[in-house]
Amino acid sequence: MSTDVLHDSPSEYLSINGKLQSIKWKIENNESLDLLSGIAELDAIFGKGIRYGSVIEWGLPQGRNGRILPILFLRHNIPATVWIYPDNGMNIYAAAWASHGVDLRRILFIKCDDPVTKLKPLFLDDAFTIIVLDSPKKLSRGALSFISVQARENQQIVFLLRHFFLSSKRGNIFAAVRLNGSQDRRGFFTVNVIKGEIKTKIILPEERVFGQ
């Protein structure tokens, strides 16, 4: 199965061969040492923001609007970012991302079911400062360890998105922070930290999340 790349337009697909080696966005005029969402309560979960060199695991069940939570961290002058998603019959609609304030010039979308095996150079190089693994179908314990080591070495942030709630009893020992996020029928977003320096639960009204 081929690996597809989507960039700037939902209809623009590019071969990954040679593309990754030519795309190298750099952080410009970004003085923050941490990645911020712009929502104080959410940033406080990670201290003052997400530290570079970290793996963050999100439990975001489908149909609960939870994916807007990690997107909040990708809207404020982000460094070079790659979002890798599985081949599940759906494509990324880039215009929707732009409507949330994501700068499409700084993010690359790649469709791939086995990112650590097929896209290993992404983790060995620091071309992309933020790597998002969206519901990967193949991710072994060894792969999780490798991702964690490379994130620290390259000072990258890795978001690992799961399409189910995470359990506090067992799970990814290599993630610095593990948290669940979802929106209820009243419109409130709940973020529950099950592993991290600060174990807490925050509730955010819809207007705080979408109004940033």
The residue extents of the domains of the chain are: 4-22+33-210
Residue among 127, 87, 125, 96 nearest 5 (CA): 87
Q: What is the pLDDT of residues 122-155, one digit of tens each?
A: 999 999 999 999 999 888 999 999 999 999 999 9
Q: Count the neighbouring beta carbons within 10 Å of the beta carbon of residue 201.
A: 12
Query: Distance between CA 119 and CA 16 in Å, rounded?
Result: 9
DSSP letter for each residue of the chain: ---EEE-SSTT-EEESTTHHHH------S---SEE--S-HHHHHTTSSSEETT-EEEEE--TTTTTTHHHHGGGSSS--SEEEEE--SS----HHHHHHTT--GGGEEEEE-S-HHHHTHHHHHS-S-SEEEEES-S---HHHHHHHHHHHHHHT-EEEEEESSPPPSSS--TT-SEEEEEEE-TTS-EEEEEEESSS--EEEE-HHHHHT-
Instruction: Read off the pLDDT of residues 81-95 as tens digits, 9 standing for 90 and up.
Output: 999 998 877 777 778
pLDDT score at 76:
75
Q: Given this model, what pLDDT does residue 1 score?
A: 40
**pLDDT per residue as tens, the chain (212 positions):** 434 444 433 333 333 433 343 344 334 444 456 899 999 999 999 988 899 999 999 999 988 999 999 999 998 788 999 999 988 777 777 788 888 888 888 999 999 989 999 999 999 999 999 999 999 988 899 999 999 999 999 999 999 999 999 998 888 899 999 999 999 999 999 999 999 988 899 999 999 998 75
CA 64, chain centre distance (Å): 17
CATH class of 4-22+33-210: alpha beta
- Mean pLDDT value across the chain: 83
191: left (phi over 0), alpha (psi -120 to 50) or beta: beta
147-159 pLDDT, tens digit each:
999 999 999 999 9
pLDDT of residue 212: 55
Query: Which residue from 71, 72, 64, 44 is spatially nearest to 193, judged by alpha carbons?
Result: 44
